[in-house]
Amino acid sequence: MSAPTDPRRAIFLDRDGTLIHDPGYLGDPAGVALLPDVADGLRALVAAGLIPVIVTNQSGIARGRYTPEDYARVEARVFEVLGAEGIDVLATYYCPYHPEGTVPAFTREHEDRKPGPGMWLRAAADHGLDLPGSWSIGDGERDIVAAKRAGSRAVLLAGGRDKWPMPVEGPYDADFVARDFREAVLFILRAEGRALPAAPGAALAPGPHA
Ligand SMILES: [Mg+2]
């Protein structure tokens, strides 16, 4: 049991291209599919005391590609899929705004829109989260910039399996650049001084390149 005075620490997670397959402007819950190693990785991070929070830009709402109601159905499906894996997400924060949208109500800049840190700051205020003690994982430069502006540590997924190869150039100011979710989790566990899952054949066991 943690002492009641322990700060609550989060693992802030980008959604599209980090947790789930990113087909571009996902507005259909049937398209929700977890990426490899995400379930195992999140379970390991939760075991290390980090509370999952999703932070996601959803400019498709401002662009009229899907509605807030469509978004809500996708979000519910993400919670359902993760819940089936035994993973409870504390909260999701999403930003529907974009300065070049087509839906007037959502067409503007907003500090929640990554690389703005607004979603991290709101989550910390809403849930009493310790940002310097928290981590973030995302597959885009804007994820890292937002996380660092908020005061969190950050791991960039570069060259992931689910997207075009992202050149590792910067400066992104990431604490680590990982090739995939598994490597990101292993880095965070090491930094936390946690024993690595090492059961033979375990999805998160260090591989030949670890
Ligand atoms: Mg992404």
Distance CA 77, CA 30 (A): 8
Instruction: Read off the pTM.
Output: 0.88
Distance CA 34, CA 112 (A): 24
Give the residue from 157, 195, 205 showing the smallest Cα distance to 20: 157
Expressed in angstroms and rounded, the spacing between residue 2 Cα and the centre of ligand 1 is: 32
Residue 75: φ, ψ to 5°: -60, -45
Expressed in angstroms and rounded, the spacing between residue 3 Cα and the centre of ligand 1 is: 35
Expressed in angstroms and rounded, the spacing between residue 181 Cα and the centre of ligand 1 is: 12
**Domains of the chain, earliest start first:** 11-136+147-191 (3.40.50.1000)
Tokens of 70: 């469509």
Distance CA 190, CA 79 (A): 27
Q: Show which residues are catalytic.
A: 14, 16
pLDDT in tens, the chain (210 residues): 545 557 899 999 999 999 999 999 999 999 999 999 999 999 999 999 999 999 999 999 999 999 999 999 999 999 999 999 999 999 999 999 999 999 999 999 999 999 999 999 999 999 999 999 999 999 988 999 999 999 999 999 986 544 444 545 555 689 998 989 999 999 999 999 987 765 544 555 444 443
